[in-house]
Amino acid sequence: MRIVLSGGGTGGHIYPAVAVARQLEAEEGGSAFLYIGGKRGLESRLVPQENLPFKAIDITGFRRKISMDNVKTIMRFLKGVKASKEMLREFKPDVVIGTGGYVCGPVVYAASRLGIPTLIHEQNAIPGLTNKFLSRYADTVAVSFEGTESAFPGGKNVIYTGNPRATTVTAASPQRGYASLGIPEGSTVVLVVGGSGGAKAINRAMIEMVPFVGKGNGVHYVYVTGESYFEETRKALRQKLGGEPSWLHVLPYVHNMPEVLACTSLIVNRAGASFLAEITALGIPSVLIPSPNVTNNHQEANARQLEREGAAVVLLEKDLTGKALHEVVQRIIGAESLRRSMAESSRRLGKRDSAALVVSELRRLAAKRKK
C-alpha cells in the first residue's frame, strides 16, 4: 500500500500517524510512505528521525480574533493545496490519512479533490477546527473516545478506533524502565510529568508538595520538569528538602517514556489525548490536571472521559496546590483496592488494538477505490 500521512504542530498529532505507519509495516512489507508536514512544525524534526520520507508545505492556523494574519493564512492554505496536489500526483498514494493540526487542511482537502480516499483521525474528545472542516470531505472520520462520534454529524463514515499511539506502548518493558531510572524492580513509582515541555503550575505544586511526602514511605517519585524548568525547579526542591533524597528522581526529560510508563504505578499529568492513549493502553491509574490554555478546553473533556469510567481523578489547575496534590496521590497510593480498580478501568479503556483498526479501515478505502 502507498500511503500519505499528515499531522503536525504537536507530538499528539504526529505520533498517531507514525504509529499507523509502523502498524502497516508490521502487517505487510513493501508499503511506501510519504509524510507531508509543515515547515515550522515539530514534525519537521521528529518525522525524519522516524526514517519516514518527509516533505513540507508552508501553512499556519487561523486566529480566533479578526486579524489580517487570517488573510495570509487563506493564501497559504490555497498555496498549500496546490503544493499538496503536486506531491500527491507524484507519489500516487492509495489513501491519505490526516491526524490533526493545521497542515492536514490543505493535504486532505487536496486529496479529496483528486479523488484519493481519505481518513482523518481525531484524538480529542472535542474536535479541532481543522478536523471539523475536513470531516465534510473525508471518506472516514476515526475518533479516539467512544461516544464522541456525534461530534461529526456531517461525516460520511464515523468510526470509533481509539488512538493508534496506544498500540506502540503495549510491548514496553517495565524492567528497562526501572533500570533506566535506577529504581529497584517492583517498586511503587509515582510519575509526575507536565508534558514534553513541562508545566509551570505542576512544577510549582510539586515544589509545594514534597515536604508533605516525608521520607517517601517506600514510594519513588519520578518528576519530569521539562528542560526549560529543570535547573530552577531542581534548585528549589533541594532547598526545600536539604538535598535530593533517594525517593525523589528529578529529570528534565524522558526519552524512553513507554518503558518508564510500563513501570509506573500512578501518573500525575496533563490530559493530552495521545498521552492518555498510552496510559490507558498500559492500565495506569492517573491524576489528571488538564491544561486550561487549549482550544475549547478540550483537555478537560478528555480527562472527564477517564474520570467517568473510574480510571482517573481530575484536579483542575485552579484548585491545584501542593497539599491538594499530595492528598489525592496518597488517597490512591494508600488504598490498594482503589488503585487496582482504577487500573482495571484504565486498561478497559485502552484495550482496543487502535492502530490495527485504523490500518484495516485504510485498506478498506484503498480496495474500494480500486474496484
Same domain, 127 and 234: no
Same domain, 226 and 150: no
Rounded-to-integer distance, Cα 36 and Cα 111, Å: 12
- Determine if residue 11 is labeled as part of a ligand binding site: yes
DSSP-derived letter for residue 61 is P
- Determine if residue 157 is labeled as part of a ligand binding site: no
Same domain, 10 and 129: yes
CB 79 within 8 A of CB 60: no
326 lies in which domain range?
169-349
CB 288 within 8 A of CB 199: no
- Determine if residue 124 is labeled as part of a ligand binding site: yes
H or E element at residue 105: helix 104-113
Same domain, 320 and 359: no
Closest CA to 224 of 184, 264, 187, 185: 264
Cell numbers found for residue 246: 533517594
DSSP 3-state of 36: strand
- pLDDT for res 60: 73
What's this model's pTM, rounded to 2 decimal places?
A: 0.82
Rounded-to-integer distance, Cα 321 and Cα 300, Å: 18
Q: Mind listing the pLDDT tens digit for each residue in 297-338?
A: 999 999 999 999 999 999 999 999 999 999 999 999 999 999
Q: Mind listing the pLDDT tens digit for each residue in 350-367?
A: 888 899 999 999 999 999
Same domain, 50 and 150: yes
- Determine if residue 264 is labeled as part of a ligand binding site: no
- pLDDT for res 12: 87
- Determine if residue 123 is labeled as part of a ligand binding site: no
CB 15 within 8 A of CB 144: no
CB 183 within 8 A of CB 249: yes
CB 352 within 8 A of CB 234: no
Same domain, 124 and 69: yes
Same domain, 151 and 285: no
CB 356 within 8 A of CB 296: no
CATH number, residue 309:
3.40.50.2000
Number of domains in the chain: 2
Q: Which residue has the higher pLDDT, 75 or 346?
A: 346
For the chain, what is the radius of gyration of the CA atoms?
A: 21
Cell numbers found for residue 329: 496521590
pLDDT level of residue 139 (50, 70, 90 thresholds): very high
Same domain, 63 and 176: no
- Determine if residue 350 is labeled as part of a ligand binding site: no
DSSP-derived letter for residue 87 is H
pLDDT level of residue 6 (50, 70, 90 thresholds): very high
Same domain, 221 and 149: no
**Mean pLDDT, all residues of the chain:** 92
pLDDT exceeds 80 at position 66: no
Which distant-in-sequence residues (6+ apart) come within 8 Å of 143 by Cβ?
Answer: 121, 122, 149, 151, 152, 158, 159, 160, 161
Same domain, 135 and 209: no
Cell numbers found for residue 309: 469510567
φ/ψ of residue 296, rounded to 5: 60, 20
pLDDT exceeds 80 at position 253: yes
